A and B are shown apart, each in its own frame.
Chain A
Amino acid sequence: MTGLALLIPLALMMGLIGLVAFFWALRNGQFEDCDGAAARILIEDDQPSVPPVQP
């Protein structure tokens, strides 16, 4: 029983953290554009949108 007293709250707490993270993502608009998020990883960030000015 002593093991249970520790393990059950621990398991529930981990589940709750997952649930809270899910709610945060939902509120934060993370599910607004799933297709876009999947494609965005392919965009190269380091390519400057404006050519650098020559010194």
Chain B
Amino acid sequence: MTALARLPEPPLGQTVLVVPGMHCAGCMAKVERGLVAVPGVAVARVNLTARQVAVQHDPALAPPVLIEALAAIGFPAQPRGPELAPPPSAARPLLAPLGVAAFAAMNVMLLSVSIWSGATGATRELFHWLSALIGVPAILYAGRVFYVSAWGALRRGRTNMDVPIAIGVTLATVLSLYETATGGADAWFDGTLMLLLFLLAGRALDAAMRDRARAGVDALLRQAAPGALVLGKDGSIAWVAAVDLVPGMTMRVAAGERLAADGEILSGHSRFDQSLLTGESAPVAAGPGAVVHAGTLNLEAPVDVRIAAAGQGTTLAEIARLMDAAGQARSRYVRIADRASRLYAPAVHTLAALSFAGWMLHGAGLHQSLVIAIAVLIITCPCALGLAVPVAQVVACGALLRQGVMVKDGSALERLDTVNHALFDKTGTLTLGRPVPDPAALAGFDAAAAGIALALASHSRHPLSRALVEALAARGVTPAALEQVAEEPGRGVTARCDGLAVALRRPETAGGMATVLAIAGQPARLIGFADRLRPDVPAALDQLGRLGIAAGIVSGDNAAAVLDVAGQVGLTAAAAASPADKQAAIQRLQAEGRRVLMVGDGLNDGPALAAADASMAPGTASDVGRQAADFVFLGDSFAAVPRTVRAARRTMAVVRQNFALAIGYNVLAVPLAMAGLVTPLIAAAAMSLSSLLVIANSLRLARAAR
């Protein structure tokens, strides 16, 4: 028995962690080595494209241990929940047909060149048969993408760009086979394969760009609370994933953690940041008996919460249902390429039918008339037209990505192009949505005090401490050496520095957000915190105005806070708006014939983001906000908004030029085809030339996002 001779290997558990901070080889090496150094970890493998690391480990090892290990080397990480698993790649299924089309097109073209150079008789027939041998299986395999899509559209009584492609490809293949079998002069396998190659290349590029943006968005999912520490009846504490939480459990939520479920506080007092849920900027204090919601951030002290609703029953799920209903309006949008093909397909088929009828009446035989009609179909096959939209959008998406704007879908650029009204959320969108220490207070610190403040703050995970660390580190402060550091949750951090007692604690008089730096023998220093406007907001709004876009604020925050920001940026504002109110405001504008851009970050903006004609969210937005938005911009600067609008307008200008080029080519080529003058050589040359022109024109967009 071999099973006895060998020790059974313990089955390994696998955890996939999302690590948004990785961006280079150094990060990859650090993350992989850092994880393998954790006892119990067997293998860690980074996927840089998806910003994820797959860890194979002892099943007893819990994900928080791995997250701690990564945090210790400076990489914040989150486990990837099964519901957040990336959607299946759109580009992958296109790669194999693309490879086959490329292989077949190149080999058939090689044989075709010999025929065009004057091969006749048996040699030409042999070459035609060889072309058919390579071409027919390749066309069937690579053309499947178009057949499936065309059939899907026809079955629903609609038409799309794939219908004329599928008809043209099929007819050309059948005609070529007939010509080959009867020893005719011309076969069109090369042109047909080249057409498939160009079209598949356009599609694969489009899909690859969408995959890339999705992977980026997936990597940013930081806000979701994927689980909670649950207290057992015997006082034990265990990590439970969000999907396994049930009402009645008691979860312990540490300061700085987001709640994974709705519930009621059993013990502990803290303040909660509800900005993602309601847009309310000021933290809300809550004690035993108070109701708290999933998605809110516990700011100050650990609390025990008895779960009242989890999963589908939470406030979060309610907002998700509102969004589903709102998104249906957008799904009715018809992409420009499909609108073009609605006109294009009937026109092409009418022309082919006319040529056939004309030559028959003129006295040409059935065979010659059919050859000419099919030549018209092949020459008008929308090669350049099929590339006109995706190549321009892919190049523009790449340009935007380099500027930190992720585009979820090419059609978003088309919708953004027509926008003439913009609505902004306040908290987290116009403002940074996080507390920033008062720069005036920090400027008043001497180097020693700043060093002590930085060292103290770095020992706490409290949001104010982390904001302080970020601000002081940005000023180039070096931390002081501390001894006997102790953190008392909800009170602050105490330590000794050069024998002096030092502390960073909450102020005695709790008014607004603030922290106090106390150094023995010196007066206490108060550091105020406030949410501040994003950089470049006034300049960005000014640029939007010059682009002809009216703007307004619609916020869930209270009137005083909204009026303050509205006054600073000079916009009209609606305050205390519920998620449904925001959606209604957009629908009112749409009913007036306005095209609306919604920029928002919170869960409460989700329905509005889904209802608007186009939507943007900052990278710091809630996971719902990022999923609902068409564009996600990274970084703090608000200048990304007008930049994206400008890029969208440039892209659509190029798309329209591409259409003009593709149609201009048809205007020249169709009369030739109808006159019966087109040979496979002319068709191949004309098709490549028009495709190259369209690609070259689209490449001008590489700098569209400047």
Q: Which of B93-101, B235-243, B565-573 contacts A (4 or more CB under 8 A)?
A: B93-101
On chain B, the residues within 8 Å of A40 by CB distance are 25, 28
A39 to B26, CA, bound (A): 9
Question: Least Cβ distance of B401 to chain A in Å?
Answer: 12
Q: Does A52 count as interface, using CB distance less than 8 angstroms? A: no
On chain A, the residues within 8 Å of B92 by CB distance are 26, 31
On chain B, the residues within 8 Å of A43 by CB distance are 25, 28-29
On chain A, the residues within 8 Å of B33 by CB distance are 49
Question: 1/0 per residue A39-55: CB within 8 Å of B?
Answer: 11111100001100000
Q: Does A8 count as interface, using CB distance less than 8 angstroms? A: yes
Q: How large is the interface on A (under 10, 10 to 19, 20 to 34, 35 or more residues)?
A: 20 to 34
Q: Is the CB of B103 within 8 A of A33?
A: no
Question: Least Cβ distance of A53 to chain B in Å?
Answer: 15
Give the residue name and chain of the A residue nearest to B91 (CB).
Answer: A31
Question: 1/0 per residue A2-37: CB within 8 Å of B?
Answer: 001000100110011011001100100001111110
Q: Pick the residue among A8, A12, A26 that contacts B96 (CB under 8 A).
A: A26
On chain B, the residues within 8 Å of A16 by CB distance are 103
Question: 1/0 per residue B86-130: CB within 8 Å of A?
Answer: 000000100110011001001100100000000000010010001
Give the residue name and chain of the B residue nearest to A16 (CB).
Answer: B103
Q: Is the CB of A36 within 8 A of B48?
A: yes
Q: Is the CB of B48 within 8 A of A39?
A: yes
Q: Is the CB of B103 within 8 A of A19?
A: yes
Q: Is the CB of B29 within 8 A of A34?
A: no
On chain B, the residues within 8 Å of A31 by CB distance are 92, 95
Q: Is the CB of B24 within 8 A of A39?
A: yes
A6 to B99, CA, bound (A): 25
Q: Is the CB of B49 within 8 A of A18?
A: no
A1-B123, A49-B36, A49-B37 known; A19 vs B100 contact (CB < 8 Å): yes
On chain A, the residues within 8 Å of B26 by CB distance are 42
Q: Is the CB of B49 within 8 A of A32?
A: yes
Q: Pick the residue among A1, A32, A42 that contacts B25 (CB under 8 A).
A: A42
Question: 1/0 per residue B25-59: CB within 8 Å of A?
Answer: 11011000100110000000011111000000000
A27 to B26, CA, bound (A): 28
Give the residue name and chain of the A residue nearest to B36 (CB).
Answer: A49
Q: Pick the residue among A11, A12, A19, A44 that contacts B99 (CB under 8 A).
A: A19
A4 to B48, CA, bound (A): 48
Q: Is the CB of A12 within 8 A of B134?
A: yes
A26 to B92, CA, bound (A): 8
Q: Is the CB of A35 within 8 A of B49?
A: yes
On chain B, the number of residues with a Cβ less than 8 Å from chain A's Cβ atoms is 26
A43 to B26, CA, bound (A): 7
Q: Pick the residue among A1, A15, A49 that contacts B106 (CB under 8 A).
A: A15
A41 to B26, CA, bound (A): 11
Q: Is the interface of B mostly helix, strand, loop or mixed?
A: helix
Q: Pick the residue among A15, A23, A36, A50 that contacts B47 (CB under 8 A).
A: A36
Question: Least Cβ distance of A5 to chain B in Å?
Answer: 10
A11 to B596, CA, bound (A): 57
On chain B, the residues within 8 Å of A36 by CB distance are 28, 46-49
On chain B, the residues within 8 Å of A39 by CB distance are 24-25, 28, 48
Q: Pick the residue among A18, A26, A44 that contacts B103 (CB under 8 A).
A: A18
On chain A, the residues within 8 Å of B29 by CB distance are 43-44
Give the residue name and chain of the A residue nearest to B24 (CB).
Answer: A39
Question: Least Cβ distance of A11 to chain B in Å?
Answer: 7
Instruction: Mark out the residues of chain B between 330 and 344 whose CB falls within 8 Å of any chain A CB in the assembled complex.
Output: none
A34 to B36, CA, bound (A): 23
On chain B, the residues within 8 Å of A23 by CB distance are 96, 99
Q: Is the CB of B48 within 8 A of A33?
A: yes
Question: Least Cβ distance of B408 to chain A in Å?
Answer: 19
Question: Least Cβ distance of A3 to chain B in Å?
Answer: 12
Give the residue name and chain of the B residue nearest to A50 (CB).
Answer: B37
Question: Least Cβ distance of A39 to chain B in Å?
Answer: 4
Question: Least Cβ distance of A4 to chain B in Å?
Answer: 8
Question: Least Cβ distance of A29 to chain B in Å?
Answer: 10
Question: Least Cβ distance of B23 to chain A in Å?
Answer: 9
On chain A, the residues within 8 Å of B134 by CB distance are 12
Give the residue name and chain of the B residue nearest to A49 (CB).
Answer: B33
Give the residue name and chain of the A residue nearest to B48 (CB).
Answer: A36
Question: Least Cβ distance of A44 to chain B in Å?
Answer: 8
Question: 1/0 per residue B6-35: CB within 8 Å of A?
Answer: 000000000000000000111011000100
On chain A, the residues within 8 Å of B47 by CB distance are 32-33, 36
A23 to B100, CA, bound (A): 9
Known interface pairs A36-B49, A39-B48, A42-B25; 13 further A-B residue pairs with C-beta atoms within 8 A, sorted by A's residue number:
A4-B123, A8-B130, A15-B103, A23-B96, A26-B95, A26-B96, A31-B95, A33-B48, A33-B49, A34-B49, A39-B24, A41-B25, A49-B33
The 12 listed contacts between A and B (C-beta, < 8 Å) are: A15-B107, A22-B99, A23-B96, A23-B99, A32-B47, A33-B48, A34-B49, A36-B48, A36-B49, A39-B24, A41-B25, A42-B26
Interface residues of A (CB under 8 A from B): 1, 4, 8, 11-12, 15-16, 18-19, 22-23, 26, 31-36, 39-44, 49-50
Q: Which 3 A-B pairs have the closest CB atoms?
A: A36-B48, A42-B25, A39-B25
